[in-house]
Amino acid sequence: MNSLANDAVKLSRPTFASRIFKGAENHERLLGWLLSLPANSLMLLFLVGPILAVLALSFTDWQLGMDSFAWVGLDNYQEMLTDDTFWHSLKNTMIYVAVVVPGSVVLGLGAAMLIEAGQHGKAFYRAVYFLPVMATLIAMSIVWQVILHPDFGLINLMLKELGITGPNWLQDRNLVLYVLCGIGIWQQVGFNLVLFLSGLMAVPPHLYEAAEMDGASSAWARFRLVTWPMLGPITLFVLVITSIKAFQVFDTVQVLTQGGPNKASEVLLYTMYTEAFEYFRTSYAAAVTVVFLFFVLILTLVKARFVERKVHYS
Amino acid sequence: MAQIAIQALNKSFGDTRVLEEISLNIQDREFLTLVGPSGCGKSTLLRIIAGLESQTEGHISIGGCQVDQLRPKDRNLAMVFQSYALYPHLTVRENIVTPLRMRNHNWYQRLPLIGNLMPGAEHRNHEMETKVNQVSELLQIGHLLDRRPGELSGGQRQRVALGRAMVRSPDAFLMDEPLSNLDAKLRVHMRTEIAQLHKQLGTTFIYVTHDQAEAMTMSDRIALMMDGELLQVATPEEIYRNPVDVRVAEFIGSPKINLLPAIAGAGGRINVCNQPLRIATPDPLVQSVTLGVRPENVELSIRERSDLQGRLVYLENMGAEFIAHVDVPGLETPVLVRCDVEQGHQLKLDQQIGIRIKPKHALLFNDQGRRIESCKLHQEARHEFACE
């Protein structure tokens, strides 16, 4: 391949580029860039481009539909820092992440270990737990709306049977965010479970036998000695994916609460959506997006830089 | 004391019987090898002794105590796995210390950081450290203690696995094909080392292998298994010279024993390819038999003095000796003859040659494969057929 490329360069007349890049090595390098140009430009256009566009937008005062815009520097960010709604939604998003990530990871791992330890029906359980992942969260949110309805919702009817008056789940300011967290966990557990199951299947059975011979006879001791360390890479992946997904919470908020009551369930992506598509403050929404991307970027960096090294053993 | 007694052990997986009526007494400080082809149930037997699997019927006792209901950790045995089964996330030191930590510490003493603050932690840690150092010195892995298993070669991992088993001074060592993942040269070397280790430690060793050479070179006694049955338990010497079953004779020894279909004629005299040999069976009822004779008990000879004649089809040069393959008309497989270098150099492929079977070392098996008695006929009394 390389020699072919060299020949092609040798045969062609000296071009402008080849005058700049002198020597065979440079020819080759130039050709490499040329050949990968289509792929690279598509990548820049479709993957990096939008992010740069958002970043650029966040420094302007452009609104959807306007013919012109002006650069306003950090004005949007300044406004954001003084905006209660933004701080509220940032705090709510953090709480949501802090509840959903450990909740869905622990439950997913627990369920995966139970299924793996069971004798029968592995495929059945795997499929059932995976159903919420496959179902559209928008559609499922409507089902949850019915279940959580204060008067004729399934949960409150059941509580009534026990003589308890159930709260108005989605209208209670202190409760609504955690209800959404619950739905978030419900949806995410199946995904984590399937990943953990594949991780568990990859643990060499001999290690459990060695642990048994070494005296790790309790389930907890075996978990600490074998399962947990061997699941390191999978757990890291699950943590990062779940965190990113939790940061992206939107569907349930949009369908069930619209950020209410009184912004008790306002989250970053929902703020961004309302700013952009209800108030048409596109540039401000772009600034919120940049903050959102910042968190996701940090998560990705944490994954790449710090943790990945510690969980691969060979 | 770690005498291990196995009584009438049966094991089935569903309808498949993998172990049938195994009874075996393993002496204290003995090196016993369970040997047999893959799938013969030897590993299952070892795992049942370890407690990793449970028997369908029968009993196991260690040092006089029945252990059928005990979990692996309470049987005080150590096991070395074929895949070593080292914990990849722990260093060599941590791997070796794990059996001590698991047994001597309770759960809160094992906690990271906090465990070190518990009363007596320093003393315990010091004790464990000493043990690890002793073991690593014995196995010469002191310089590897801070590495992870992923950074070690196969032979080094093997030593670490041995170290992890040794650190706790168990009643017996169970080894499940521990050398089969090593290259040929290292395998031979580790053979000696494990045998020496056995002498140094003075503990019972139960060693599983499919390699008859390992079994022959290392063990005090060999237990040969096939198809879930224990065929023979004997010293290497005995099992080589006096196999009780044709399958034992065939499995032990390299190159393989020659098995020739034979017929007992008048007076029990053995005929191979219609050639009467100087061997007879005293049992008058036996008709078709198998004659087993090891390659070193066959010699090449001139036609007049030979038992059988054939063509030399292949000559294996083993360096210190030659193995001649002689194709005898009427026999399916060539007869292997072990000959010394001098003789080997004089041989030419495709030459016609006679072979002579040493009647004293000939083994006879009946049509069920069981060993039957044989005797040598007097050479002078060719027509008398008197047993010596």
Of A71-75, A94-98, B7-11, B42-46, which gets the smallest average pLDDT? A71-75
Query: Looking at beta carbons, which residues of chain B come within 8 Å of A204?
Result: 83, 85
A219 to chain B, any CB pair closer than 8 A? The answer is no
Does the predicted TM-score (pTM) go above 0.90?
Answer: no
- Where does the pLDDT of residue A62 fall: very low under 50, low under 70, confident under 90, or very high at 90 and above? confident
Rounded to a whole number of angstroms, the distance from the CA of B311 to the nearest CA of chain A is: 51
Mean pLDDT score of chain A: 84
Q: Are strands B229-234 and B221-226 parallel, antiparallel or unpaired?
A: antiparallel
Q: Tell me: pLDDT of A4 over 50.
A: no
**Residue A38 vs residues A9, A25, A30, A34, B8: alpha-carbon distances, Å:** 19, 22, 14, 8, 74
Question: From the CA of B31, how many Å to the nearest CA of chain A?
Answer: 20
Domain B256-376 of CATH type 2.40.50.100: yes
Sign of the Cα torsion B113, B117, B118, B120 reads positive
Smallest Cβ distance to A314: which of B79, B88, B107?
B88
Chain B residue numbers with beta carbons less than 8 Å from the beta carbon of A214 are: 73, 98-99, 102-103, 164
Residues of chain A found within 8 Å of residue B88, distances taken between Cβ atoms: 229-230, 313-314
- Delineate the domains of chain A, giving CATH numbers in brackets: 2-57 (no CATH), 75-311 (1.10.3720.10)
Q: Is the pLDDT reported for residue B384 higher than 50?
A: no
d(CA B174, CA B169): 13
- Answer whether B4-246 and B256-376 agree in fold: no
Residues of chain A numbered 230-249 and touching chain B (CB < 8 Å):
230, 232
Kindly provide the ipTM of the predicted complex, given to two decimals.
0.82
> Which pLDDT score, from 0 to 100, does residue A122 have?
84
Contacts of residue A21, Cβ cutoff 8 Å, sequence gap at least 6:
A27, A29, A30
Q: What is the pLDDT of residues B344-365, one digit of tens each?
A: 899 999 999 999 999 999 999 9
| Minimal-distance CA residue of chain B relative to A207 | B85
pLDDT band of A2, cuts 50, 70, 90: very low
- What element of type H or E holds A194? helix A176-201
Give mean pLDDT, residues B22-34.
Answer: 94
Of A206, A212, A229, Cβ closest to residue B73: A212
Q: Which of A20-29, A87-96, B52-61, B155-164 is least confident? A: A20-29
pLDDT tens digits, one per residue of A91-113: 999 999 999 999 999 999 999 99
Task: Report the chain B residue with the minimal C-alpha distance to residue A309.
Answer: B89
Concatenating the DSSP letter of every residue in B167-210 gives TT--SEEEEESTTTTS-HHHHHHHHHHHHHHHHHHT-EEEEEES
Query: Above 60 in pLDDT, residue A19?
Result: no
DSSP secondary structure string for all residues of B61-108? EETTEE-TT--GGGGTEEEE-TT----TTS-HHHHHHHHHHHHHS-TT
Write the class of the CATH domain B4-246. alpha beta
The pLDDT of B16-33, averaged and rounded, is 93
Position A118 confidence tier, pLDDT thresholds 50, 70, 90: confident
pLDDT of residue B381: 46
pLDDT for A27 equals 85
pLDDT tier for residue A175 given thresholds of 50, 70 and 90: confident
Reported as a pLDDT band with limits 50, 70 and 90, residue A159 is confident
Q: Break chain B into its structural domains and give their ranges.
A: 4-246, 256-376
pLDDT band at B139 (very low <50, low <70, confident <90, very high): confident
Number of residue pairs across A and B with CB atoms under 8 Å?
Answer: 74
- At residue A31, the pLDDT reads 92
